[in-house]
Amino acid sequence: MVEWAAAEIEQHRRREKINSIAIGAPGPIDIEHGVLVNPPNLPGWRNVPLASMLRRATGAQVHVANDADMAGLGEYHRGAGRGTRNMVYITWSTGVGGGLIIGGRLHRGAHGTAGEIGHMIIDPDGPLDNCGQRGCLEAMAGGASLARETGHPAAELFKAAQGGNEHARMVVERAARYMGLALISLTNAIDPELFVMGGGVTRSWALVQPTMIETLKSSPFIKPARRPRLLRARLGDRAGQVGAVEWARINQ
C-alpha cells in the first residue's frame, strides 16, 4: 500500500510541488507518531508506523489522522459546518466514527483518540463488537453489524426499508433510534451547536433522520434552546480529502 501511495505521489510531483502529506485512516491512531494502533476494521494492522513508512518512501512531511476527524474538518471548513464553532461530525456507514470541533479547533483528546463515537456503549448487554466491548453503537447500528444480523448487505436492507418492507423498516428505525440515543449523550457531554452526518447510511436520509430527531427531542433534559441541529454532510466522499488538505495546511 505504501509503495502504491508513493508511486501516486510521485506522479503528482511531476506537475506540482508536494511538501506535506496528510492521511486519514481508521482509528485509534497515535497521532504524535503517526502509528495505526489497532483499528478494529483493519485486522492485522497493529502498531503500523504509517507516517514514517510513507515519509521514507516520499521524503515529504507526513501527518496521519483519524479518517472521521479529516471528514469532520472538511465539513467544518468547506461544508455543512461552516459558520459554527462547536460541531460533531458523525460518519455512519459500515462502521460509525466521529470528529469533534470544539471552539473552532479539531479536538483530539489526550491520546489523539477523541471522537470514537462508534465505541460509545448503548447497551452493556448488547452484541460483542470488534473492539472487545459489548453493545457499542457500531455493534448496534453500524452497516456491517446490520448486515450480519439480517443476512443481507446494508445497502439492500435500506433499499428494502425504503420500499416498504416492514421487517427491514423496523431494523433501520431501531438503528436510527440507537443513533439518536448517542446524539443525546453527545449533546449532554459536549454541547455542540450542530451535528453533521455523513457516510453511506445518509443516502437514506429521509428514512433515518426523522427517527433520530424524534429521539433527540425525547430527552427532557435537553431544552429546545440548546438542542443541536442535525444536518446531512454536503461534501460526500470528498469530505476526507478536503479535511486532509486543511490538516496538512494547518500543520505545515
Provide the domain count of the chain: 2
Q: Are residues 48 and 159 in the same domain?
A: no
pLDDT of residue 23: 85
Same domain, 21 and 144: no
- Cell 508511486 belongs to 7
* Same domain for 245 and 143: no
CA dist 165 and 102 (Å) reads 40
State residue 92's pLDDT score: 98
Angle at 240 between CA 238 and CA 242, to 5 degrees: 65
Rounded to whole angstroms, the Cα distance separating 188 from 207 reads: 25
Cell 480529502 found at: 241
Q: What is the pLDDT of residue 110?
A: 87
Count of residues for the chain?
252
pLDDT value at position 57? 84
Are 38 and 45 in contact, with CB atoms under 8 Å apart? yes
Q: Are residues 97 and 215 in the same domain?
A: yes
pLDDT at 10: 80
Which pLDDT value is given to residue 60? 81
Residue 251 has what DSSP assignment?
Answer: H
147: domain CATH number is: 3.30.420.40
CA distance 147 to 104: 36
The pLDDT tens digits of the residues spanning 201-234 come to 999 999 999 999 999 999 999 999 999 999 999 9
- If asked whether residues 125 and 11 sit together in one domain, one would say no
- Tell me which residue range forms the domain holding 89: 69-235
Residues 214, 148 share a domain: yes
Nearest to 196 by CA among 69, 72, 84, 106: 72
Mark whether 83 and 121 lie in a shared domain: yes
Burial grade of 151 (CB within 10 A; 0-12, 13-18, 19 or more): exposed
Q: DSSP assignment, residue 99?
A: E
Q: Check whether residue 15 and residue 91 sit in a common domain.
A: no
The model's pTM is: 0.89
Show the low-confidence residues of the chain (pLDDT under 50).
none
**Co-location of 43 and 134 in the same domain:** no
Which amino acid belongs to residue 10?
E
Same domain for 85 and 116, yes or no, is yes
